[in-house]
Amino acid sequence: MKMLFHSADSRGHANHGWLDSFHSFSFANYQNSERTNFGVLRVLNDDSVQGGMGFGAHPHRDMEIISIPLEGALEHKDSTGTTGVIQKGEIQVMSAGTGVQHSEYNHNSDKTVKFLQIWVFPRKLGVEPRGEQISIQSTEIRNEFQQILSPNQNDAGVWIHQDAWFSLAKFDKGNSKEYKIHKEGNGVYAFVIEGSAKIAGQMLNRRDGFGIWEIDKFEVEATENAEILLMEVPMNLPEYLK
């Protein structure tokens, strides 16, 4: 079993006024050779965007981009013709593939939008760009692992071009459950959105991150009411990156 711990205050930070962003891994002007990625998990940004502001149209390619609003509403538009508003209780994925232009704005002029933006390397290059957005509220069960992303089109949650599984754990204080790795060679990066928890014996507080791999199962216990995002991803990079 291997582990790593990233405290909330060790993350990269950039405050642009309209955008306040914390980076769990190297991103933009924050570069840390020891925190480039966790397996195929490339980016985990904890973003807050002021009312009426946002990211203008910009390009992406060959990346799976996942957005999870935590507060407020995020407006999205891309060159595939997809437009929409993502709110808390929803998840959106965009497979950039051969190339896509997209923009993201705070849908409201008077409220801050807070969201996680996550990038995952796909298993192969050059897929057809696509997008998907769903509500995950209807499948929420407290004190269980709620799957919100997988590699399978017919499974719970959205799907991406990678052998990855994301789960939300909304646990009441004192509740615990064993998490089992879906595929050999995968690891899990856990991010505590709210509250505190003990994962495989490691104590985690709000916005702490914890990676664990070379293990087939581990225990998650809420030490207070907690919301935790578990991102299970392959630890080996795809051949095109080697």
Interval 134-158: pLDDT, tens: 999 878 889 999 999 999 999 999 9
Average pLDDT, integer, range 35-56: 96
Across the beta sheet with 202-204, the strand order is 176-180, 217-222, 197-199, 202-204
pLDDT tens-place string over residues 180-234: 999 999 999 999 999 999 999 999 999 999 999 999 999 999 999 999 999 999 9
Q: How sure is the predictor about 81, in pLDDT bands with cuts at 50, 70 and 90? A: confident
User: What's the CA gap between 31 and 29, in Å, rounded?
Assistant: 6
- Hey, which residues does 1 pair with through a beta bridge? none
From CA 75, how far away is CA 48, in angstroms rounded? 14
| Maximum alpha-carbon separation in the chain | 47
Dist CA 116 CA 148 (whole Å): 14
**Count of domains in the chain?**
1
pLDDT given for residue 224 in this prediction? 98
Confidence of residue 29 (pLDDT cuts 50, 70, 90): very high
pLDDT of 21 reads 97
Contact present, 188 and 212 (Cβ < 8 Å): yes
Residue 147's pLDDT is 97
pTM over 0.85: yes
pLDDT at 217: 98
Buried (b) or exposed (e) across 158-170, using 16+ Cβ within 10 A?
bbbbbbbbbbbbb
Q: How many CB atoms lie within 10 A of CB 148?
A: 23
Q: Domain of residue 61: give its range.
A: 2-241
- Answer for the pair 187, 39: CB distance below 8 angstroms, yes or no: yes
Within 13 Å and on the Cβ side, how many CA atoms surround 25?
A: 19
CATH number at residue 85: 2.60.120.10
Confidence of residue 84 (pLDDT cuts 50, 70, 90): confident
3-class SS of residue 67:
strand
Query: For residues 214 and 1, is the Cβ–Cβ distance under 8 A?
Result: yes
> Where residue 242 falls among pLDDT bands split at 50, 70, 90?
confident
CA 45 to centroid of chain Cα atoms: 8
Distance CA 41, CA 151 (A): 14
Q: What is the pLDDT of residue 198?
A: 98
Strands of the sheet with 12-15, listed across from one edge: 12-15, 19-23, 41-49, 113-120, 64-71, 90-95, 130-135
* Per-residue model confidence as pLDDT tens digits over 157-179: 999 999 999 999 999 999 999 99
What does the pLDDT look like over 89-125, one tens digit per residue? 999 999 999 999 999 999 999 999 999 999 999 999 9
With a pLDDT cut of 70, the percent of the chain lying above it is 100
Bridge partners, residue 147, by sequence:
167
pLDDT of the residue at 80: 81
